[in-house]
A and B are shown apart, each in its own frame.
Chain A
């Protein structure tokens, strides 16, 4: 793996693990005495879901969703669709949606509408990185680990052309 485009470290492995532990405790408190379905959005949230859920002491189920945007031809609209839907039923269950990054919220809005159609008992959102400055949709984020820096980042699940997801830290990346 070439690291020549990797810039400064934005969040170290220790910072990430410490913050996830804190957020995990918050979730434990908020859902005390309840069952919870954790839904991770593939692929970016892979490591985050793995680490976060290991801090949870409440009974949980884990499931994943994957959505894709197929770019349209010139002048045509692309298509957003679920590449992998849920295996578990979430009807009447408490759901925590776990994202790697929340920016405009358009993708999140699409997913939330889909999940809400299954009538869960509740639906909250947890994100590793949040970029509220980019947000277009008014969506409440219940848990956020870090605010997104104003640079392109990779690592800890975040990729550039499907690479660098497996870095244990989050670093700036120069795409040029």
Chain B
């Protein structure tokens, strides 16, 4: 069971992304409003609730039951996550769960210029007022983390991933995080909760033909890994990778990569070019392409179901 913590800069659209992500994953969202409404009233009166809403320093005050409000919040979050996955928005959760194996820590940012423009629009403010608004809220976020946990909120090492929404829409960012969470879930399921047994693999295949091919490898008891490596094969003038190739399967005992293509033969030239480029750049790498006809011959031979073409 994995969970996601989301930290955000004001104006980064982090809140919208967190909500959409929670919706996509069908998970509850735990944010400050939730905590103020459901958890803190158990131990705090009106004045204390007011102080908790206003002052980070007040979180270090001891409750009538002993622990500080910060410790109480930490314990509530830990107990909640022990029972139920969630998207946790803010609350210093990236610190509280910093080493938790099932956590994904995300930070959403945007440039100062973009954030200013968004605040001007959303709050109907002048540029000057929007800049002041950002300055104050950024300081508050920073102070909450530094006061309670003595950590630097802007430290990128606190996060698995930092998304810049200058170039990503809410939908794009939430989809990306959704798939990241799903992948993390698979890893979590196989490595923590259910240690992988020989012949039992939990893999999400991108195409049905890959799943069928995996069955054939399993029949022959040939150990395989699914897309274990991505080979960069083209770079631009600045050294950025512009083209990469992830062969579908790797058979470690035979040191062989296998790429399936069930498209019509005339569309496979692109794949052949990629393979040639890979072989040139990574000499000694054994990579084979299984073409449509060969694939269907294998499937027919073993009585497996026919699969959709055009991979």
Contacts and interface: CB of A to CB of B under 8 A. Distances in A.
Interface in B245-260: 251, 253-256, 258
Contact of A79 (B219, B286, B288, B301): B219
A22 interface: no
Interface in A99-122: 104-107, 109-110, 113
Nearest to B288: A136
A167 interface: no
B304 A110 contact: no
Contacts of B157: none
Contacts of B254: 105, 109, 137-139
B226 to A, nearest CB: 16
A94 B44 CA distance: 80
A138 B253 CA distance: 9
A113 B256 contact: no
Interface residues of B, number: 24
Contacts of B301: 69
A77 B288 contact: no
Nearest to A79: B219
B220 A109 contact: yes
A78 interface: yes
Contacts of A85: none
Contacts of B152: none
Interface string B216-238: 11111110000000000000000
A69 B253 contact: no
B302 A110 contact: no
B177 to A, nearest CB: 34
Interface in A105-162: 105-107, 109-110, 113, 134-139
B67 to A, nearest CB: 55
Nearest to A71: B303
Contact of A72 (B256, B294, B302): B302
A8 B253 CA distance: 40
Interface in A69-88: 69, 71-80
Interface in B264-289: 286, 288
Given A109-B220, A138-B255, A104 B303 contact: no
Interface in B192-247: 215-222
Nearest to B212: A77
Task: Classify the interface of chain A: helix, strand, loop or mixed.
Answer: loop
A122 to B, nearest CB: 17
B298 interface: yes
Contact of A78 (B221, B288, B294, B303): B303
Contacts of A107: 220
Contacts of B253: 109, 113
Interface string A46-70: 0000000000000000000000010
B290 A80 contact: no
A106 B215 CA distance: 12
Nearest to A74: B305
Contacts of B290: 136
Contacts of A136: 256, 258, 288, 290
Given A78-B219, A107-B220, A136-B288, 6 more contacts: A71-B303, A72-B302, A77-B302, A105-B254, A109-B254, A137-B254
Interface of B: 215-222, 251, 253-256, 258, 286, 288, 290, 294, 298, 301-305
24 contacts: A69-B302, A71-B303, A72-B304, A73-B303, A74-B303, A74-B305, A77-B215, A77-B218, A77-B219, A77-B302, A79-B219, A80-B219, A104-B298, A105-B254, A106-B216, A106-B217, A107-B220, A109-B222, A109-B251, A113-B253, A136-B258, A136-B288, A136-B290, A137-B222
